[in-house]
Amino acid sequence: MTATDTRADRSTGRTRLLPPMPTQAERVAELLRESLIDGVYPPGRRLSEERLCEELGVSRNTLREAFRLLVRERLLVHQMHRGVFVGLPTSDDVRDLFKARRTLELPALRDATAPAEEAVRLVGAAVDEGEAAREREDWWRMGTANMRFHQAVAGLSESARVNEFMSQVLAETRLVFHVMDAPREFHAPYLDWNRRIHTLLASGDPRGAAEELATYLDTSEDQLVTAFTAMEERA
Amino acid sequence: MTATDTRADRSTGRTRLLPPMPTQAERVAELLRESLIDGVYPPGRRLSEERLCEELGVSRNTLREAFRLLVRERLLVHQMHRGVFVGLPTSDDVRDLFKARRTLELPALRDATAPAEEAVRLVGAAVDEGEAAREREDWWRMGTANMRFHQAVAGLSESARVNEFMSQVLAETRLVFHVMDAPREFHAPYLDWNRRIHTLLASGDPRGAAEELATYLDTSEDQLVTAFTAMEERA
DNA sequence: ATTGAAGTATCGTTCAACAATCCAACGATG
DNA sequence: CATCGTTGGATTGTTGAACGATACTTCAAT
């Protein structure tokens, strides 16, 4: 997820053992990323360079480097001579995000005929975490657990690049939820669905699990899109 | 593809008609991107900030902003206090890239039961272009056409985000071909395959086309991985 | 109300400087 | 001869300030 290379040093073949100290720009990007998916800055809000670099205690140049990263992840949008703004997804974006999720999640699940044990475990753990959060009425963690569930599903593909793309898509989806500030009701009904999907997967029926997930995504998209279009024409 | 926002101005609702003038950093990134997929800089080579910003006539800060973008696209890798290097994919990367391609291309093709006319046309155009290039023995354009073919296949999903991810994956695949400087033989045999896939798709048999593509990807990956591992242990 | 012309705030980019770190060369030590 | 500190030079990391360019605001004039 970080930009500095953790993998083997390709030039020399040597391996990097210590975690690479991230650059300041990367740390700033990480901090902002957290804040953005946490909804600290509302979608559409402009982020002032001057104010932020004062607030974070870094120079403008460093902050701008961090901005570039987040713009590429679509968490921020950049407009020439106007600055960067928190992403403000439209209903079209919602549809596109779900298209992306279908291509990432469904094949990963459907083709998981012999899934890695660890990957399946992650899926189950996310379900558990979600249900525990629901018990505690900790809605925020419940949303996080739901995201982690889908991340884990995509993770069945065992591809680092697919995983990274998926986490981007999910981060942007978080923005979608912040546009309409109603995370509780949107996640709660889906927990049972997650449980069912995991059960099917663990019992060796990936195709059944994929079908379940397909209808899940359909209904979830419908719900979000209708809510979105309603909100859009209200404005 | 560009980082500045072309879409509707979300804050005001106004629409942007003129193409946004990209920032200098973005132009630099675009230029470097072209150079990288064209193989101007060999994989693994370090790119000196001092030299490049002199060469391109931009300041170091601007160049570094461009670097960040390309690092995020995996065309460059960044190592703290050592600088940025042209990506040098390993055989593991090759495998991961093919996993990603399967995820992106196969479902797009298989689910194209009622594909958009324009999207299918793009696939066919790429095939035509490839064959024309083969006639002229223009190997470089042939490789480009092959890439465009697969881009078009992924484009059947009609998702902007999937398309962008796909183009990233393909750009990185270009790097793979540059590691082993043998682009001719690697693309030529696959042109007929592309033709067949397009025919199946256009004749309303997406599942058949997907099967064809699946074996295509399998053999292509095998060929590349074996060539890669041979090269890796030779070094 | 619309148009047009300052004025202001912010971004885009550059430049110069210094600190931090890597690297290669060198010599000391066993 | 090989290995291990040390040292010095080169490159990156980060900062701060400066100035031009552009968008937004204000306000006067039609």
Task: Give, as one character, the DSSP assignment of residue B57.
Answer: T
Nucleotide nearest to A57 (CA to C1'): D15
- Nearest-CA neighbor of A42 among A76, A90, A80? A76
The region, left, alpha or beta by phi > 0 then psi within -120 to 50, assigned to residue A180 is beta
Around Cβ A177, how many Cβ atoms within 10 Å?
19
- Note the pLDDT of residue A14: 39
pLDDT of amino acid A127: 98
pLDDT at site A235:
67
pLDDT score of A183:
62
Q: Does A159 touch chain B (CB under 8 A)?
A: yes
Query: Does B10 lie at the interface with A, CB-CB under 8 angstroms?
Result: yes
- Per residue in B21-57, pLDDT (tens digit) is 689 999 999 999 999 999 999 999 999 999 999 999 9
Q: Which tokens hold the place of A29?
A: 């990007």
For chain B, the structural domain boundaries read: 24-86, 91-234
Query: CA of B104 vs C1' of D18, distance in Å?
Result: 48
Q: Which fold has domain B24-86?
A: Arc Repressor Mutant, subunit A (1.10.10)
Contact B100 A161 (CB under 8 A): yes
- Asked if A62 and A31 touch (Cβ cutoff 8 Å), the reply is no
Burial of B214 (0-12, 13-18, 19+ CB in 10 A): middle
Other C-beta atoms closer than 10 Å to the C-beta of A136 total 9
A169 touches chain B (CB under 8 A): yes
| Cβ-based burial of B149 (10 A; exposed 0-12, middle 13-18, buried ≥19) | buried
List the A76-79 sheet strands across, edge first. Answer: A46-47, A83-86, A76-79
What pLDDT score does A214 carry?
97
Is B91-234 CATH 1.10.10.10?
no
Alpha helix (H) ranges present in A156-205? Answer: 160-179, 183-187, 190-202
Crossing angle for the helix pair A24-37 and A60-72, to the nearest 10 degrees: 50
**Other C-beta atoms within 10 Å of A34: how many?**
10
Predicted local distance difference test score (pLDDT) of residue A187? 77
For residue B43, the distance in angstroms to the closest alpha carbon of chain A comes to 9
- pLDDT class for B8, splitting at 50, 70, 90? very low
The strand pair at A83-86 and A76-79 is best described as antiparallel
Amino acid B3: pLDDT? 47
Taking Cα atoms as reference points, which of B137, B186, B170, B188 lies closest to residue B36?
B170
Ranges of residues in chain A with a pLDDT under 50 are 1-17
| pLDDT at B2 exceeding the cut of 50 | no
B81 vs A contacts (CB less than 8 Å): none
A219 touches strand C (CB under 7 A): no
Whether residue A171 lies within 8 A of chain B, CB to CB, comes out as no
Report residue B15's pLDDT band, with 50, 70 and 90 as the boundaries. very low
What is the Cα–Cα distance from A83 to A47, expressed in whole angstroms?
A: 7
Residue A9 forms contact with B (CB below 8 Å): yes
Mean pLDDT of B78-106: 97
How many pairs of residues across A and B have Cβ atoms under 8 Å apart?
A: 120
Contact B65, B25 (CB under 8 A): yes
Asked if A68 lies within 8 A of B97 by C-beta distance, the reply is no
Q: Enumerate residues 6+ apart whose C-beta is below 8 A from B156.
A: B108, B109, B111, B112, B115, B116, B119, B120, B123
Q: What is residue B204's DSSP assignment?
A: T
* pLDDT band of B9, cuts 50, 70, 90: very low
CB distance A69–B65 less than 8 Å? Answer: no
The pLDDT score that the predictor gives to residue B18 is 54
Question: Which bases along strand D come within 7 Å of a protein CB atom?
Answer: 11-18, 21-24
Q: Is the pLDDT of residue B210 over 50?
A: yes
Counted residue by residue, chain B has a size of 235
Three-state SS letters, A46-93: EECHHHHHHHHCCCHHHHHHHHHHHHHCCCEEEECCCEEEECCCCHHH
Interface test with A, best of B2, B10, B23, B217 (most A CBs within 10 A): B10
Those nucleotides of strand C lying less than 7 Å from any protein Cβ are 10-17, 20-23
Region class of A102: left (phi > 0), else alpha (psi between -120 and 50), else beta:
alpha
Our CA angle for A82, A68, A154, nearest 5°, is 125
Tell me the mean pLDDT in the region B15-24.
Answer: 65
Q: How far is A143 from chain B (nearest CA, A)?
A: 23
- State the Cα angle at A6 between A53 and A16, rounded to 5°: 125
Tell me the C-alpha distance between A172 and A177, whole Å. 9
What is the predicted pLDDT for the residue at B19?
A: 57
pLDDT of amino acid A7: 39
Report the pLDDT value the prediction gives residue B183, as an integer from 0 to 100: 62
Asked whether residue A81's C-beta has any atom of DNA/RNA strand D within 7 A, the reply is yes
Q: Is residue B148 scored above 90 in pLDDT?
A: yes
Q: With an 8 Å Cβ cutoff, is B21 touching chain A?
A: yes
Q: Which residue of chain B has the CA closest to A24?
A: B80
Percentage of chain B beyond pLDDT 90 is 80
Q: Which residue has the tokens 């495998």?
A: B95
What is the model's pLDDT at position A15?
A: 41
**Per-residue pLDDT for B168 more than 70?**
yes
Round the average pLDDT of chain B to a whole number and report it.
90
Residue B181 burial by CB count (10 A; 0-12/13-18/19+): exposed, middle or buried?
Answer: exposed
| pLDDT, tens only, B72-91 | 999 999 999 999 999 999 99
Q: Which long-range contacts (CB under 8 A, 24 or more apart) does A39-42 make?
A: A39/A174, A39/A178, A39/A181, A41/A86, A42/A86, A42/A178
Decide if B110 touches A, using CB distance below 8 A. Answer: no
Residue B86's φ and ψ, nearest 5 degrees, are -65, 135
The mean per-residue pLDDT over the stretch B7-32 comes to 68
